[in-house]
Structure 1
């Protein structure tokens, strides 16, 4: 859904200002006129989007209208946040960006395209609110203004952080597990270690007398 505002003639600069600040009663009247299918107009946005804090999000938009554009359509894209009459956070013609969104807003759109994308970078918790696209254009019937009524409600979620054990802790756990008995039985690694010690001792017992005898014979020969 969108709202229609129309002004023709007179000072164009003043008309632009009036288009941006018309009271609610006038805006509602324009919305009623827009319900006529023969004069269909509107601004399309997704109703809801979700982004992760610290990440980025893209809000696609498109608009349509029945009027014939003037030779110089002077198409402008604006964005508001929080509510329908909220502060402007972006102005495509002047390059204005709200202080809260400095270096975080990118509009992908070129006149006379009727669709585009607003990208919000480095999402913050405070970014969780509504966003409303507004379009102003110059037609052969005068200047027209369209704005989404419902806008896009943005939800910010926190990323899931996973904590891994340090290598020292993991090694310690594995070592301890290797020394534990299973169902009252001796650990196979301990059995193997005992067998190796027995073999070494037996070898030492056999070799020691031989070495002593060889030393004795060598000395006797001398």
Structure 2
């Protein structure tokens, strides 16, 4: 009985080893960066690569498709038909050619609405038929909003404020000088009005003096 078990053990181990090896050989998938960020109005590249275990057909007819928003989202690009989603019109470029297993999707003129998740999907013909698969988690793209070009730099703003202050000073003159001038004007006007009165009073007193 023990000898029978010893004979069966290597066979079981061999079968398990072949099964594990088969799993490694049969692996397939798409690799993409989990996260990327790009500045609004600029461009960004999403790299991708894929692997598969099958023997390709004589004409594999490899195709790369891209989806957005979620795993079953709308297609935004199809390499075989040249389809481009209306939202990305004239803004998508796929840098990939068959039979390469890696490439780059470029998005031009990034918009606020481009901030979402992107999934690469692969189609190809094998000797066993059509195979298709895509990235599970995709690439989440974050848009960094650019500073408005209409905003002025602090130095320009400071300069503008300074110039405005100078213009006000030139137009209104120095407040202290204006106040001093007004005071002097009042004093002079008062003196002009009071002086004749005093002269008249002096003259009347002189007239009333008794003659010697």
> Is the structural similarity TM-score above 0.5?
yes
SS at 2:160 equivalent: helix
Tell whether 2:58 aligns with 1:55: no
Q: Equivalents in 2 of 1:81, 1:172: separation in Å?
A: 52
Higher helix share: 2
Q: 1:169 aligns with which of 145, 157, 160?
A: 160
- Residue 134 (structure 1) aligns with: 121
SS at 1:96 equivalent: coil
TM-score where L is the length of structure 2 = 0.62
Q: Equivalents in 1 of 2:99, 2:126: separation in Å?
A: 12
- Over residues 69-127 of structure 1, what are the superposed CA-to-partner deviations in whole Å (9 max), with x where a residue is unaligned? 11100000000000000000000000000000000000000000000000000111111
SS at 1:169 equivalent: helix
Give the gaps of 5 or more residues in structure 2.
1-21, 167-212
Give the gaps of 5 or more residues in structure 1.
1-34, 176-222
Count of aligned pairs between the two proteins: 142
SS at 2:90 equivalent: coil
Following superposition, the deviation at residue 36 of structure 1 comes to 2.8
- Residue 104 (structure 1) aligns with: 91
SS at 1:37 equivalent: helix
- Over residues 144-179 of structure 1, what are the superposed CA-to-partner deviations in whole Å (9 max), with x where a residue is unaligned? 111001000011111235622169638749x8xxxx
Q: 2:104 aligns with which of 114, 117, 122?
A: 117
TM-score where L is the length of structure 1 = 0.59
Backbone CA RMSD of aligned residues:
2.3
